[in-house]
Amino acid sequence: MEYVTSVISGTVGLVFLIAYLILIVYTLLDIMRNSNFNPSTKLLWIIIILIAPILGSLIYLFWGRTQNFL
């Protein structure tokens, strides 16, 4: 039973790790490709995502990618 539990938890952890990495990489690539942002805005978003990866990525995807506020 312990083996099954460790395999399931390892698989779930791997899925979350892959989703985490995809989210971060997709967000960073989207920031770099966004032509509406000036370089300082891009740098600010990159710093935010590197400091708080999940929260920063979600804020950018839901709110920041269409805003031109800086």
Mean pLDDT across 40-53: 95
Is the pLDDT confidence value at 60 over 90? yes
The whole-model pTM stands at 0.80
Domain boundaries defined on the chain? 19-70
Per DSSP, the three-state class of 36 is coil
Q: What is the pLDDT of residues 1-38, one digit of tens each?
A: 676 677 677 888 889 999 999 999 999 999 999 988 89
Task: Determine the pLDDT at residue 23.
Answer: 96
Q: Which residues contact 41 (CB under 8 A, 6 or more apart)?
A: 70
Is the pLDDT confidence value at 46 over 60? yes
Is the pLDDT confidence value at 45 over 90? yes
CA distance 26 to 68: 20
User: Whole-angstrom distance between the N-terminal and C-terminal Cα of the chain?
Assistant: 55
Residue given tokens 């967000």 in the structure block = 27
